[in-house]
Amino acid sequence: MVNILSSLRRRKIPEVGELVIGTVKKVFEYGAYVKLEEYEGLEAYLPWSEITTKWMRDIRDYVREGQRIVAKVIRVDKRKYPPHIDISMKRVSSGEQRIKMMRWKREQKALRVLELLAEKLGKSAEELYEILGKKLERAYGELLAAFEEIAIRGPEVLRTMGIPNEWIDVIVEEIKRHVEVKKVKIKGIITLRTLKPNGVELIKKALTKGLEVKTAPGTSVRMYSIGSPRYRVEITSTDYKTAEKVMKNIVNEILRIAKQLGIEEASFQREELR
């Protein structure tokens, strides 16, 4: 399924300079043959001189059968069939390797979910990709990012995409079952102190107003006392940018109300991430 769907989205042959995911199939004294995971039926040759910049006594110290690698395409001879492709490991930086592997793993996960959705809807994975997958990729850049957005926001993501109404609940339910959206958490401490006779009520009112601030989808707020006059605010969200924005809005509202109510001491301090 993965190879078939990948062929719907990619060229049949990689280009020189492209990063590819491969699985080492055979290792010889002067190189290795690598299956290109993103190109159905294609293998590439990894010369020993393109494995590492370090001195190498034994090629198997660096590559072995079954190993998954990230490599850069350095030569493609299209005159042959299948084309002869040479790749390099040593020309891939650690940052490129990490990003490429992460993207590929996300794509594999997304395609597995797409196959489950297709089964639920009585469609082939290829049909569902044409009907739904392409639209989601255009809107969100990648399939898994779209699925994560659906897991957070629910049916509203799909309603404007021309998806049959009877599919929407099925898709949302299945995605929420199989797609886990990673969360981030930030914390801060608000200090509120007043000598006014009704000080407890004033502080409660300021904190309550903060909790009434509108948050983003997939974001939760927790506020609790850690010993008067200090109160911890915890924001859990899908990314740090959103969490920071929500924290700023809540804190600003609390401090604004505190000033309005005449609370003598009102301040905020972020807690460091650990």
pTM of the model: 0.65
Question: Cα separation of 84 and 81, whole Å?
Answer: 8
Question: Cα separation of 41 and 7, whole Å?
Answer: 11
Question: Cα separation of 260 and 202, whole Å?
Answer: 10
The vertex-266 CA angle with 242 and 252, nearest 5°, equals 30
pLDDT in the model for residue 82 = 87
Per-residue pLDDT tens over the stretch 197-227: 999 999 999 999 999 999 887 789 999 999 9
Question: What are the distances in angstroms from CA 64 to CA 196, 230, 232?
Answer: 74, 57, 52
Per-residue pLDDT tens over the stretch 7-49: 555 568 899 999 999 999 999 999 999 999 989 889 999 999 9
The yes or no reply on domain 96-178 and CATH 1.10.260.40 is no
Which strand (E) or helix (H) includes residue 27? strand 19-28
Pair 40, 5: CB distance under 8 Å: no
Q: Which CATH number fits domain 17-92: 3.40.630.30, 2.40.50.140, 2.20.25.160, 3.40.50.1820?
A: 2.40.50.140
Tell me the domain boundaries of the chain.
Answer: 17-92, 96-178, 184-270
CATH for 184-270 is 3.30.70.1130
pLDDT in the model for residue 219 = 87
Q: 142-165 b/e with 16+ CB inside 10 Å = b? A: ebbebbbbbbbebeebbeeeebee
- Residues in the chain predicted with pLDDT less than 50, given as ranges, are 1-3
